[in-house]
Structure 1
């Protein structure tokens, strides 16, 4: 398979005025949870492509992507206007190394996301791998406002799958809501609030931490974890932290 393939939009879900999910039926090569594809459209006479991670687990269709519009962004503001039956181009082969098979086994797995960085973690949790490899799983999703906490039904399904091992922590940073922690992930890690809510401590000897989201969050969270002895996992070097910058 070479070049680009044409996919048909089957569904578009608007979560907020800026965040949305796009489902596309297309023939692409098998991918690993955590990888991404590229979506491409003709915009003002020019082909524009951007990378987006899969939300759906491998081996399922349609393909699903969780996106946010970028002010002035030529592609995202076109994608949010698509409707079932419209077409969009994709690459036949997926890319990316932000996958579970790239990290070592550990007692517990932490998945820390901001905004649409939640997407690849939903793909991972939709497979058997994390449930077979880790004794405890914590999914943390931080957004600015409570209405941005998407995919609640999907995440509730993970809780039902194994309520003893899985816990979901919701965080918001720009408003107060009963029952929700108002803080950024780095500060909540630094002062212990996050681990208290999750009912689990992060430690270099038993944890693997995957971080996906805004570059500021990724940078600041790594700094907090580094101060506690957790190092970034790199090829040929042991570590406990794996990162992906994702808007």
Structure 2
């Protein structure tokens, strides 16, 4: 089922990376879930999934997207301006949510959020709610991009780091030097111990939950490294420490 949405604001982070704020009436959702956006009618409907960046109590939906060269939908979304209409799925979906984690005390004291590119969106949605701050003593967002200009929402995340002692931001910028950022990919930072040394925290089975979202290679490599450390995938029938979502 689809509802009509209207673009009420947009922000261009780079010539390809952009955010849209959309006014649309959809069912209540949980931070970390995604919606589908579409242009065109039912007969020629072209739809893609986009994680929601906004908190559930926000009046508008917000998505972070990149216009993929030769993409069928994303370049058209990038062309939208304030007042333009599009179709939005009436309900959000997805299990990359905090309520899917084991209940305390099994959930651990630390939440590690590993993201690449636009997959930072669901974590920003979570951080805009009260829930993670109530559940965990330490929140670490590890945000990986190729170039520093691709770090969307950086001002908001930096402000959060200054105002919330529980929170720290670890950046991974791999194609150029960026002050205060790791110059290696997220899996390499895990494997070498760099991530733990920079954060001053240990990533252990006993007191950590890890949520991984983004590039399938990053997700797969990080998962392998964490499994080697003894962490286990989080399943409803068998609670563990690793929750993941591939972004394409």
Do Structure 1 and Structure 2 share a fold, with TM-score over 0.5? yes
Correspondence for 1:223:
224
* Mapped pair 1:35 → 2:25: no
For 1:147 and 1:100, the matched residues in 2 are separated by: 29
Correspondence for 2:99:
101
RMSD: 1.3
Question: Does the aligned pair in 1 maintain the 2:141–2:169 contact within 8 Å?
Answer: yes
Question: Does the aligned pair in 1 maintain the 2:40–2:46 contact within 8 Å?
Answer: yes
* Aligned partner (choices 10, 20, 35) of residue 8 of structure 2: 10
Aligned length: 243
The alpha-carbon deviation at position 126 of structure 1 amounts to 0.5
Correspondence for 2:132:
130
The alpha-carbon deviation at position 12 of structure 1 amounts to 1.4
For 1:127 and 1:37, the matched residues in 2 are separated by: 18
For 1:236 and 1:128, the matched residues in 2 are separated by: 27
For 2:140 and 2:88, the matched residues in 1 are separated by: 32
For 2:155 and 2:184, the matched residues in 1 are separated by: 24
Q: Which runs of 5+ in 2 are unaligned?
A: none
For 1:237 and 1:99, the matched residues in 2 are separated by: 17
For 2:225 and 2:68, the matched residues in 1 are separated by: 29
Correspondence for 2:203:
202
Within-5 A mapping of 1:14-25: 14-25=12-23
Q: Which runs of 5+ in 1 are unaligned?
A: none
**3-state SS, counterpart of residue 45 of structure 2:** strand
Question: Does the aligned pair in 1 maintain the 2:51–2:122 contact within 8 Å?
Answer: yes
Correspondence for 2:70:
72
* Aligned partner (choices 34, 43, 46) of residue 44 of structure 2: 46
Q: Deviations over 1:80-132 (max 9, x none)?
A: 01000001111111111110000023111000000000000000011111000
**3-state SS, counterpart of residue 40 of structure 2:** strand
Q: Deviations over 1:171-198 (max 9, x none)?
A: 1111122322110000110001111111
Correspondence for 1:174:
175
Correspondence for 2:120:
118
For 1:64 and 1:239, the matched residues in 2 are separated by: 30
Q: TM-score, normalised by structure 2?
A: 0.95
Question: Does the aligned pair in 1 maintain the 2:172–2:181 contact within 8 Å?
Answer: yes
Q: Deviations over 1:189-222 (max 9, x none)?
A: 0001111111211000000000000100000000
For 2:21 and 2:30, the matched residues in 1 are separated by: 18
For 2:158 and 2:172, the matched residues in 1 are separated by: 16
For 2:212 and 2:150, the matched residues in 1 are separated by: 18
For 1:232 and 1:158, the matched residues in 2 are separated by: 29
For 2:176 and 2:230, the matched residues in 1 are separated by: 32
* Aligned partner (choices 138, 144, 147) of residue 145 of structure 1: 147
